[in-house]
Amino acid sequence: MDRLWAPWRMEYLTQPKQSACFLCAKGNDRDLLVLRRTGLTRVLLNRYPYSNGHLLVAPQRHTAGLDDLTEAEMLELFRGAALCREVLTRASAPDGFNIGINLGKAAGAGLEEHLHLHVVPRWNGDNNFMSVVADLRVLPEALLATYDRLLPFFEAAGEEK
């Protein structure tokens, strides 16, 4: 039997389950994986990504529904998605993107209480038997290495952080 070691997952398995919203958390941006902040939104790495560079764009305000967003928040949310696509294109040269919002548990929302948009870079051939056979994703780059690689691109975008 072959084994695939992923010791970094132990932190997730042993940490106490959080009752607070991780999108509203305050603290060190690198620890929180926050790459960019504006007055209305934040961009952060997904801690449990589908692929390297999987980003989340969320309103700063804790809100669950699209109907709850102000026009300014909605505009900034999609401007953030466009910036993420631009940054990931320059930093990682993906062949395409999945961009979307999961509303409700049935739609795959892991955090139903705080609306967020996913920007997932995709490469031709990035799906393989591991996802199908083992329900497993193979990510070639550590999360903080991805953070450190993407941060200069967000800083160069001239937006406030």
Active site residues: 116
Closest C-alpha among 81, 76, 82, 50 to residue 61: 76
DSSP state of 105: G
Cα four-point dihedral sign 87, 89, 90, 93: positive
Contact call for residues 73 and 67 (beta carbons, < 8 A): no
Closest C-alpha among 110, 117, 118, 148 to residue 22: 110
Cα four-point dihedral sign 13, 108, 147, 66: negative
